[in-house]
Structure 1
Amino acid sequence: MANDVKTVYKSLGLCGFGLGSNSAAVDVKDGKILRIRPMHYDDAYDIEDMRPWRIEVNGAVLEPKDKTMPTPLQYAYKKRVYSKNRIPYPLKRVDWDPNGDRHPETRGISKYERISWDEATDIIASELKRIHAQYGPLAVLAQVDGHGESKIIHAAHGCPGKLLDLMGGYTLQARQPDSWEGWTWGAKHIWGMDPVGKQGNVQNLFQDIAENGDAVLYWGADPETTPWGWGGMQPGRLVRWLHDVGLKSIFISPDLNYTGAAHEGKWIPILPNTDAALHCAIAYVWIKEDTYDKDYLATHSVGFEDFKNYIMGGEDGVPKTPKWAAPITGITERQIKALARYWAKHVVSIAHCAGGGLIRAAYSSEPARLEVALLAMQGLGKPGAGQINFMDWGLFGIDEIYPLPRSACQPDLSSIYNGWAMLTYPVNFIPKTLIPQAIMNPPVKWRGGHVIAGLPAEDQVVEWDFPHDGDYELHMIWTDSPCWQTCWNGGYEMQRALQHPNLEFILAQHPWLENDCLFADIILPTTTKLEVRDISADLFSGQYNMLMHEEQAIPHVGESLSDFEAVGEVAKKLGLYEEYVGGTEDELIRKGFDNSGVQDMVSYEEFMEKGYYVVPTAEDWEDDPRGMRPFYDDPQANPLLTPTGLIEFKSTLLEQFFPDDEERPPVPHFVPYGESHSESLLHPRAEEYPFLLVTNHPRWRVHAQNDDNTWCREIETCKVKGPDGYMYEPIWVNPKDAVVLGLKDGDIVKMYNERGAVLGGIRLSERVIPHAIYQDHGARVDTIVLGELDRAGANNLICPSNTTSKNAPGEVTNSFLVNLEKVDVFELARQYPEAFDHAYEAETGQIAIDKIVEGA
């Protein structure tokens, strides 16, 4: 490439928690991004020195490539960096006066005016001092959690907490285990696994499954899509390789997702929220036909007789037969029996990719527990049988959740990480799922401890409340993750909460003017990771781990500062700058390297000269234990993290603390509806709302990130162009349902329930089961009527507000009841002219800044 082109290396994770992600090379000329492309390991290292691993089974070879494998979202990221939605300079809401009327009722409606960084930080510092003096530090809610770019020193999702700690504390919005709710609130009570409660030990598991397994059940899993924002293309390679080895692929989900469509196998369509019924029916067949491993259960489990009693109908008089499950699940009795019998005769594993939609639905604790029960009934941990995850290798640097050949080291940058998203020990906190209630209707109480993944199951029985012991209610929010409405549960309720008069000041910092930013009183523009220098790691490629020195690729866009720098400007006004920064950028990079774990493998000088260090594969990786094999071989020597050390078909903790909880009983059940939820076709409410909405991770976004990427929006499956030229979020509808509804492909509809409505564009497809409809989650908010109607299809706005169940404060953002109704968008435009003359360009999704900022 020409000499005037500069190449920098970036761990280009768009959802990384600072843990690192699949890396890429960024070619820059004259301060502008030319392109983003794979990074070749052998540009700086001899491949043999990296000790490349190789697994060959039945003639099919799996081995790392000599380059990284970014996804299309990462290639296209320059369009996100240069989006017109970037916040160009600090903004203040025009009718918010810190010395007068604050007008909380117009948040989300008001326009903004440009102010300087100096004026913005003066106001912020003054407000912090005032609120501390009037209410105390705990009246400030720090929303410093969520998915974001994999930055370390300049990390989002935490820097405000670092400053607020120096000021005496704050109230933390405690992060939920959102991608694995059911595992945390359910599976942890049957097999006790940590750090995130969603899977067992999967170390070295892919080789074991390939050598000894017969089939993989992709249960709600879409490895070709879910990891795109933080991993790379390796998951898709793994699905193909397992097929080439000779394993059967079986896809169980309401929709034939991209993995199911792109790979050979069998699709078993199932109605949303009914997986637990299928689990129960499979268990019934095994018990009835005596095809489960009784010897294993006798030595590796407790409580099976109680579980058997429920399955066979002894508890409630209803045997959980395939005939019982067929009308519930939409799967024929014959198919259920065939699946159960095949599984009983073959070595079968279950694959997930962050759990799928069933793990974020109502009562998701139950399918998570029942899945483990089925694995246990067939000898969990025996050669070739386990539960695998196609996403989380490298997570937290824990070898036990690394199913591929292990690297000699997983670089650790926690010594300088400024993102506090995973903080687990605050004194004052509120579960993210309860934030609207905590703002509008305090006090709130919950059972579930700190609600953050990774803590022992015993933490879930602790009672908490907010406010606590006379503390003040919330009066300020400081958010560096302004995406509550479209990334969490019950978003319309959050819109109302953000207008509550108790909230005297809302401060947001973000690169893009979108979603919750439009409810803030002050908005600070922050950078993307391509605009900062940093040190980072690549832990998610599934190939090699790397430590990287990330040079700054381009100048800051507009007046943006990094999150670390933005908070630092406030720290200066408070006289806390030196304590806040903790050293120069050079000093912090060196400190990160010296504590990374690779400092004895390569010199700092060589690391800086080459720009990255590829950690070799561990020499002894083939000797690592394989998945749950140690527990299978000797459960006494290798106990689980349950109270008994065994698989608990009847949970010791739940029986002790929640013996009468019908929504999460001591023995796992199929719970279609109950006190907290009625999101079931079996409930009378389904007469008015006859469809279950499936909302998976999007293919062309990462949650709400990338919705303004014009390259992606050109793809037919990304958006549906309406008659008004607006690009609507697709809603997949089975043709049989469309006939009843009188809909055709391309129609614009209102999707609604009693909580509100969002619009979408119809895509007719047999890739979704009748009585279910499909729309990706994460479309950015584009309000027509605040608290009632959204144009862009941000379906989390109409999710349930209640949590997983009454004693499990997780999110419910999938598989809920809705109805569809065709709309005339031109009539809506006449009815709501101001909303339709909005700030977003119809086709590109790019912002017209002059319609939001006065005088722009």
Structure 2
Amino acid sequence: MNKDKLKLLNIDYKDLNFIRDLIQEDGFYPLESNFSMDEEEKIVPTSGSHNCGGRCIIKAHVKNNRVMRISTEDDIPDTEKMPQLRGCLRCRSYRNRMYNCDRLKYPMKRRGKRGEGKFEPISWDEALDTIADNLKRLMYKYGPDSIYIQYATGNEGKLSENVWMKRLLGMYGGYLSYYGTYSTACTQAATPYTFGTIYTGNSREDWVNSKLIILLGFNPADTIHGTNTSYYLKMAKKAGARIISIDPIYSNTAVALADEWIPIRPTTDNALLDAMAYVMITENLQDQTFLDKYCLGFDEEHMPPGIPYGNSYKNYVLGKGSDKIPKTPVWAEAITGVPRETIIRLAREYALNKPGALIQGFGPQRHAYGEQIARGGTVLASMTGNVGISGGWASGTGYPVREGYVASIPHYNPNKSKISMFSWPDAIIRGKGMGSNLGVRGTDKLSSNIKLIFNLGGNCIVNQHTDSNGTAKLLENEDLVELIVTSDHFLTASAKLSDIILPADDMMEREDIVTPWGFGDYVLFMNKAVDTLFQCRNAYKWIEDLSRRLGLLEKFTEGKSLDDWIKYLVAKTADKNPGFPCYENFKKKGVYRWIYDEPCIAFKKQIEDPVNNPFSTPSGKIEIFSTKLWKMNNHKEIPAVPKYISAWEGPEDLQAEKYPIQCIGHHSKRRVHSTFDNTSWMEEVEPQRVIVNCEDAKSRELQDGDMVKVHNDRGTIILPVKITSRIMPGVASIPQGGWWIPDEKGIDRRGCINVLTRYKPTPLAFGNPSHTSLVEIEKVY
């Protein structure tokens, strides 16, 4: 590209070559600089705004308007009551991502057919004119159900692209919204049927009061689940708690903290819980007093009126229900792969070592019938009387009850239509007339198919969605979705399926406010560390320009600059938090912590005073049997009590004869979902490989490091194999988040797990079943 063309596009020739000039083996820094080399280094407190399981304090060391290195919190005492919020490898490597030579530098529009990945640079004016013209046309022709803001978590700040776009579109007539998350759809949908809420977790400092902690698919060493979660487990272990990890993988959490690892076949967790309940019932180990007083539906003596005899949870477990199958440890062993002796011992341990905490991760509920495992955990917690007490854990979603208030940008959507965040392909194909049978909420049926997608800071329109090949083929049809707009830092797999691509500013190039993901009693101020490179723009600025084109500038901005909006958030937060710092002090310090004198116990009030503090369920009790679920009249897939349901493409599926390996996609310490996949430093931490058990490798004559083909009827991946005893036989795992990079034959060469997963929403949550895939693995010669 010549200098005249760059000038026309308002691109600084020096900027275009800047990143290329930065590349050095030991990091990124200018080889040549027009700035004085005598400039002093300054340290800027900030944080990460991508969807990491933690939210940490990171410090950008800046010199000559360049981030030279990154450190983390080290200026306060690291105490048990207030541990430091120290960043992990991801944020510590952020400079490598920020100064990547492939970073998007200017707006682009598609040329050729959608999906070919061919783009040409355009001006911001042309990009915004195109977006505005299509938005006006499609809104007029099809209405707000045709305009969809895609689920996206690449920017989780209080001032993210999605926040501003929701505010603008709400003023322009509305948009099609979504509910749920790719991570937690099933547990968020199912847990309230038991407790009436998703906030079922004690605060983490209470774990030191547990005698037994069972981690069911819970791996905070890699997924984080709130900064310092592993630290609190370590404190519990130090205080004497026995920790058991139940997981197909011998995870880093299990290696570091667990006293025992119990491997289990994916999709079968509920069979294990049912058999544990069987042992408790037949040995009279359940807390019957607790069940009688607080629960509905455990036995026939405590059922809702009008329900036919035989439908209690106890009768189901003992084989006196409709299936006539006792859920014995022998029955569960054949399904789960967990030895019957282990099941019996585990049931006795949990029942007799009170208080105990059965902590459920989000991996087990990401399968074909993930709603069942979420509720299954809540039943065992109730059977053992571990709800509402110190050292216990109510299970289910496990979100903490205690959460400090942080204000949000005001926005309102006049259009009440909602779909599951996972069901948008259905809304593209058959949106008009789509109703509650396909998960639509807020309206009887949609008035239009999706025609315009705003994909702002996300990679879910192909990479993180199931069946990447099939999804891409759907999006390539320009007669269906007429415009796809992406804002991002790189030409991701999802960006390649877009029509307009906008270059986003980096998290170190903007100011924002972020809160922890899951656990954590603090809020962080993200300070701008360096100037924005190239033609990248902050979301507020370009959406402000878009609002002008829609005639909504004054209404959208209220006359406020971006800095004014941040001050607004701080002021509104301070209104509900006496002692919260003023804007200047919050910005300077970068963090505010809520300090509490004692742990918070979920449902403590309900257990201590049930008359004045009923559960938020229809009956006011813990509903082991849900009348609301019963009335859905789909007892096979949505039973009123949690049950083990054999999953399609689970270990009992007949397809296992053709594809004998269950393939899951664990979270990797080298990525945040798909963020950081193109970061070379993190590739050194953990290369993308499929993990296979030694026995499965031996029968296929595989050696560690061999290139293998992982395939099923939906697609093929070719990548290296890692052979290990840290995964159970019959199971393989590909770290989720690898970018979808198909070759000319459609074979993915990077290791995108979703080439292999199936698009089939779960029956109740219409959620993500991505841990439900059967494959075969073969050596590539």
Task: Work out whether the TM-score is over 0.5.
Answer: yes
Pairing partner for 2:511 from 529, 533, 537: 533
- Determine the C-alpha separation between the residues in 1 that align with 2:593 and 2:344: 48
* TM-score using structure 1 length: 0.80
Cα distance, 1:443–1:759 mapped onto 2, change above 3 Å: farther
Q: Which amino acid in the other structure matches residue 254 of structure 2?
A: G
1:340 paired with 2:343, answer: no
Aligned residue in 1 for 2:19: none
Conservation of the 8 A alpha-carbon contact between 2:244 and 2:262: yes
Conservation of the 8 A alpha-carbon contact between 1:424 and 1:450: no
Task: Give the alignment's Cα RMSD to 1 decimal.
Answer: 2.8
Aligned residue in 1 for 2:262: 268
> What secondary structure is seen at the aligned counterpart in 2 of 1:751?
strand
Conservation of the 8 A alpha-carbon contact between 2:574 and 2:580: no
> What secondary structure is seen at the aligned counterpart in 1 of 2:617?
coil
Aligned residue in 2 for 1:163: 168
Pairing partner for 1:672 from 616, 628, 646: 646
- Determine the C-alpha separation between the residues in 1 that align with 2:413 and 2:181: 12
Aligned residue in 2 for 1:491: 468
Aligned residue in 1 for 2:24: none
1:648 paired with 2:653, answer: no
Aligned residue in 2 for 1:35: 69
> What secondary structure is seen at the aligned counterpart in 2 of 1:26?
strand
1:474 paired with 2:450, answer: yes
- Determine the C-alpha separation between the residues in 1 that align with 2:740 and 2:580: 47
Matched ranges for 1:397-408 at <5 A: 400-401=401-402
Aligned residues between the structures: 727
Cα distance, 1:293–1:761 mapped onto 2, change above 3 Å: same
- Determine the C-alpha separation between the residues in 1 that align with 2:580 and 2:190: 43
Aligned residue in 2 for 1:242: 236
1:802 paired with 2:753, answer: no
Cα distance, 1:625–1:68 mapped onto 2, change above 3 Å: closer
Q: Which amino acid in the other structure matches residue 659 of structure 1?
A: N
Q: Which amino acid in the other structure matches residue 665 of structure 1?
A: P
Aligned residue in 2 for 1:7: 43
1:286 paired with 2:275, answer: no
Q: Which amino acid in the other structure matches residue 47 of structure 2?
A: S
Aligned residue in 1 for 2:680: 710
Cα shift at 1:424: 8.6
Cα distance, 1:248–1:340 mapped onto 2, change above 3 Å: same
* TM-score using structure 2 length: 0.87
> What secondary structure is seen at the aligned counterpart in 1 of 2:610?
coil
> What secondary structure is seen at the aligned counterpart in 1 of 2:170?
helix
Matched ranges for 1:2-81 at <5 A: 4-15=40-51, 21-40=55-74, 42=76, 62-65=80-83, 67-81=84-98
> What secondary structure is seen at the aligned counterpart in 1 of 2:224?
helix
Aligned residue in 1 for 2:428: 439
Cα distance, 1:527–1:175 mapped onto 2, change above 3 Å: farther
Cα shift at 1:464: 5.2
> What secondary structure is seen at the aligned counterpart in 2 of 1:27?
strand
Matched ranges for 1:364-379 at <5 A: 364-379=370-385
Which shows bigger deviation, 267-276 or 117-126? 117-126
1:429 paired with 2:418, answer: yes
- Determine the C-alpha separation between the residues in 1 that align with 2:314 and 2:580: 57
Matched ranges for 1:580-591 at <5 A: 580-582=556-558, 583-591=560-568
Aligned residue in 2 for 1:359: 365
Aligned residue in 1 for 2:102: 85
- Determine the C-alpha separation between the residues in 1 that align with 2:616 and 2:713: 42
- Determine the C-alpha separation between the residues in 2 that align with 1:711 and 1:778: 16
Aligned residue in 2 for 1:596: 573
Aligned residue in 2 for 1:259: 253
Pairing partner for 1:747 from 699, 706, 731: 706
Aligned residue in 2 for 1:842: none
Cα distance, 1:589–1:748 mapped onto 2, change above 3 Å: same
Aligned residue in 1 for 2:205: 206
Conservation of the 8 A alpha-carbon contact between 2:350 and 2:356: no
Q: Which amino acid in the other structure matches residue 337 of structure 1?
A: I
Cα shift at 1:391: 9.2
Cα distance, 1:169–1:284 mapped onto 2, change above 3 Å: same
Aligned residue in 1 for 2:125: 118
Cα distance, 1:29–1:628 mapped onto 2, change above 3 Å: same
Matched ranges for 1:387-406 at <5 A: 387=394, 400-401=401-402
- Determine the C-alpha separation between the residues in 1 that align with 2:583 and 2:417: 43
Question: Cα deviation per residue 1:542-580 (whole Å; 9 max; x = unaligned)?
Answer: 6762453x4321121221001222222322333333322
- Determine the C-alpha separation between the residues in 1 that align with 2:63 and 2:331: 65
Conservation of the 8 A alpha-carbon contact between 2:148 and 2:176: yes
1:506 paired with 2:484, answer: yes
Cα distance, 1:6–1:389 mapped onto 2, change above 3 Å: farther
> What secondary structure is seen at the aligned counterpart in 1 of 2:691?
strand
1:524 paired with 2:498, answer: no
Cα distance, 1:537–1:597 mapped onto 2, change above 3 Å: farther
1:413 paired with 2:402, answer: no
Which shows bigger deviation, 694-703 or 182-191? 182-191
Cα distance, 1:94–1:533 mapped onto 2, change above 3 Å: same
Pairing partner for 1:147 from 144, 153, 159: 153
Cα distance, 1:401–1:271 mapped onto 2, change above 3 Å: farther
- Determine the C-alpha separation between the residues in 1 that align with 2:751 and 2:775: 13
Cα shift at 1:616: 5.3
Cα distance, 1:219–1:107 mapped onto 2, change above 3 Å: same
Cα shift at 1:274: 0.7
Q: Which amino acid in the other structure matches residue 179 of structure 1?
A: S
Question: Cα deviation per residue 1:583-638 (whole Å; 9 max; x = unaligned)?
Answer: 113322222221112775266375167344534524xx23x653333333333332
> What secondary structure is seen at the aligned counterpart in 1 of 2:759?
coil
**Structure 2: unaligned runs, 5 residues or longer:** 1-36, 300-311
> What secondary structure is seen at the aligned counterpart in 1 of 2:490?
coil
Cα distance, 1:551–1:272 mapped onto 2, change above 3 Å: closer
Conservation of the 8 A alpha-carbon contact between 1:659 and 1:666: no
Cα shift at 1:70: 0.9
Aligned residue in 1 for 2:546: 570
Aligned residue in 1 for 2:183: 179
Which shows bigger deviation, 294-303 or 481-490? 481-490
Question: Cα deviation per residue 1:500-529 (whole Å; 9 max; x = unaligned)?
Answer: 222222221112111111011111111112
Matched ranges for 1:690-701 at <5 A: 690-701=660-671
Cα distance, 1:257–1:821 mapped onto 2, change above 3 Å: same
Cα distance, 1:760–1:441 mapped onto 2, change above 3 Å: farther
Cα shift at 1:123: 2.0
- Determine the C-alpha separation between the residues in 2 that align with 1:392 and 1:78: 32
Conservation of the 8 A alpha-carbon contact between 1:222 and 1:356: no
Conservation of the 8 A alpha-carbon contact between 1:146 and 1:175: no
Cα distance, 1:605–1:357 mapped onto 2, change above 3 Å: closer
- Determine the C-alpha separation between the residues in 2 that align with 1:168 and 1:570: 15
> What secondary structure is seen at the aligned counterpart in 2 of 1:283?
helix
1:109 paired with 2:66, answer: no
Cα shift at 1:648: 1.6
Conservation of the 8 A alpha-carbon contact between 2:200 and 2:398: no
- Determine the C-alpha separation between the residues in 1 that align with 2:367 and 2:723: 24
Q: Which amino acid in the other structure matches residue 638 of structure 1?
A: N
Cα distance, 1:388–1:240 mapped onto 2, change above 3 Å: farther
> What secondary structure is seen at the aligned counterpart in 1 of 2:463?
helix
- Determine the C-alpha separation between the residues in 1 that align with 2:93 and 2:614: 46
Which shows bigger deviation, 753-762 or 68-77? 753-762
Question: Cα deviation per residue 1:54-113 (whole Å; 9 max; x = unaligned)?
Answer: 7xxxxxxx2224x43111111111111112231111111122xxxxxxxxxx32214111
Q: Which amino acid in the other structure matches residue 420 of structure 2?
A: P
Cα distance, 1:710–1:274 mapped onto 2, change above 3 Å: same
Cα shift at 1:683: 1.6
Q: Which amino acid in the other structure matches residue 757 of structure 1?
A: T
Q: Which amino acid in the other structure matches residue 633 of structure 2?
A: P
> What secondary structure is seen at the aligned counterpart in 2 of 1:783?
coil
> What secondary structure is seen at the aligned counterpart in 2 of 1:757?
strand
Aligned residue in 2 for 1:817: 774
